[in-house]
A = this chain, B = another copy of it.
Amino acid sequence: MTQPTDKPADSSALGPIPKAVINRLSLYLRELQRLVRDGSETTSSTQLGKLLEFTDAQVRKDLAYFGQFGYPGIGYRCSELITRIKEILGTNQRWPIAMVGLGNLGRALLGYRGFTHQGFEVACVFDVDDAKVNRQFEDIPVYHLDRIVEIVPKLGIRLAIIAVPAPAAQKVADALVAAGIQGILNFAPVTITVPRHVNLEGVDLAIELEQLSFAIVNIQWRQS
């Protein structure tokens, strides 16, 4: 073997990265942004771990999937680590989003805007109600669902949020896929199916609440 055995930390060689790691990456980012706001210059795996209730080893292992970001004896420079995590997550760019459904939940999410400062921004809304279509809502244009295949590629949109009633969700997903959407965040409380090349995340408030009621009713089982 002429190859040196101590190869560089090439993330592409480490095999697939567990989904749980990416989720924690988002949590590190959120925590780092708060640390910077509160005036911290540097942090450490121990501090990040304590804040999020992870072990220090876990923090270092997670970051090591993507390279060497830290300074032995020092820790991590917060702003540097923020930049690197954003690069990894792909949020060092703007992500225009198509939202489908302008009912209670859709309007709520639009008004909420709790995710805009991470680079996500609803660029247009689709609905089937003629009373809502071809107007603006909160400065965002609303189009008829039929025009999804026309408008989504034109605006370079790759992410969509489904906020329609459960019975309509699968058809909406099919339309989004046809329009070339690459990732879907589904708020409808129903299982939807998409091709393997389309990424899917689901948020179901009833399921979140059920996790809590289970934990309360079965006190003996303290998580994991």
Contacts and interface: CB of A to CB of B under 8 A. Distances in A.
Nearest to A51: B191
Interface in A200-224: 201, 203-218, 220-224
Q: How many monomers of this chain does the complex have?
A: 2
Contacts of A113: 104
A15 to B, nearest CB: 9
A63 to B, nearest CB: 14
Nearest to A65: B221
Given A26-B207, A115-B206, A212 B189 contact: no
Interface residues of A, number: 69
A76 interface: no
A97 B208 CA distance: 13
A195 interface: no
A214 B91 CA distance: 8
A207 B108 CA distance: 18
Given A120-B209, A207-B30, A90 B217 contact: yes
Contacts of A210: 22, 25-26, 29, 89-91, 118
Interface in A105-164: 105, 107-109, 111-115, 117-118, 120, 158-159
A208 B214 contact: no
A191 to B, nearest CB: 6
A16 B95 contact: no
A86 to B, nearest CB: 9
B205 A109 contact: yes
A19 B211 contact: yes
Interface string A23-57: 10111011100100000000000000001100000
Given A109-B205, A220-B12, A159 B120 contact: no
Given A111-B108, A211-B201, A206 B90 contact: no
Contact of A216 (B26, B199, B221): B199
A31 B210 CA distance: 15
Give the top 10 A-B pairs by smallest Cβ distance, nearest first.
A108-B108, A104-B111, A90-B217, A183-B212, A115-B206, A90-B213, A26-B207, A199-B215, A118-B206, A105-B112
